[in-house]
């Protein structure tokens, strides 16, 4: 197993990681527009990418305070590599990068209900406040769970959250 980080994802890597189903994130029905990621963490096994975690830097507003976050999205493991700890390993690597290299106050991700326990085991916690996300027709409340991971800060500001962008 090898971890690598790069600024882009090739067409072939994208096909291998995301091309195995029509709705692998079970979110197509939400009809959301997503923000592209700036960094890509890959777990390779025998020279083949089996897990991906995408990252981007962004500032959200929580209450009335700006909060520097590292957005996490596009977390996927190909079906034949499920249950082997690759996603957990990649997420721990992402958490280290968010804290050490990217100097984020918090990590922030969007997920469906069945994935909440996975992220909670890795130290993430659900945001209890309303989270407003941007979409082409205007701002809406996030239809997905929003979770945060403390990095350089411990206390998430109280109050509604404005993402100020498309979700990731």
Report the CATH number that the domain containing residue 14 is assigned in CATH: 3.40.630.30
Please report the pLDDT score of residue 32 as a whole number.
Answer: 97
Asked if residue 167 belongs to a domain, the reply is no
CB of 127 closer than 8 Å to CB of 161: yes
Structural domain containing residue 139: 2-162
Interatomic CA distance for residues 115 and 62, integer angstroms? 24
Asked if residue 168 belongs to a domain, the reply is no
Asked if residue 119 belongs to a domain, the reply is yes
Please report the pLDDT score of residue 13 as a whole number.
Answer: 97
Asked if residue 41 belongs to a domain, the reply is yes
Asked if residue 16 belongs to a domain, the reply is yes
Asked if residue 139 belongs to a domain, the reply is yes
Interatomic CA distance for residues 68 and 117, integer angstroms? 25
Asked if residue 23 belongs to a domain, the reply is yes
Residue with tokens 């082997």: 84
Return averaged pLDDT per consecutive 10 residues of the chain, 168 residues in all.
97 97 94 97 97 98 97 98 98 97 97 97 97 98 98 96 98
Please report the pLDDT score of residue 115 as a whole number.
Answer: 97
Please report the pLDDT score of residue 100 as a whole number.
Answer: 95
The residues, any chain, with a CB within 8 Å of residue 141's CB and separated by 6 or more, are 130, 131, 132, 133
Name the pTM for this structure: 0.95
Total domains, the chain: 1
Please report the pLDDT score of residue 68 as a whole number.
Answer: 98
Asked if residue 47 belongs to a domain, the reply is yes
């Amino acid at each position: 197993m090898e971890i690598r980080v790069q600024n882009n994802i090739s067409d072939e890597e994208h096909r291998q990681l995301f091309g195995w189903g029509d709705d692998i994130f079970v979110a197509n029905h939400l009809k959301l527009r997503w923000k592209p990621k700036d960094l890509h963490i890959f777990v390779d096994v025998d020279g083949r990418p089996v897990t991906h975690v995408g990252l981007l830097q962004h500032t959200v507003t929580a209450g009335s305070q700006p909060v520097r976050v590292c957005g996490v999205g596009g977390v996927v493991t190909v079906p034949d590599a499920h249950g082997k700890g690759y996603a957990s390993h990649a997420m721990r690597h992402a958490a280290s990068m968010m804290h050490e290299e990217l100097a984020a106050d918090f990590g922030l991700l969007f997920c469906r209900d069945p994935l909440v326990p996975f992220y909670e085991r890795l130290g993430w916690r659900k945001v209890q406040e309303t989270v407003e996300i941007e979409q082409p027709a205007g701002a809406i409340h996030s239809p997905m769970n929003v979770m945060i991971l403390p990095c350089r800060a411990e206390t998430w500001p109280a109050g509604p959250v404005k993402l100020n962008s498309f979700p990731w």
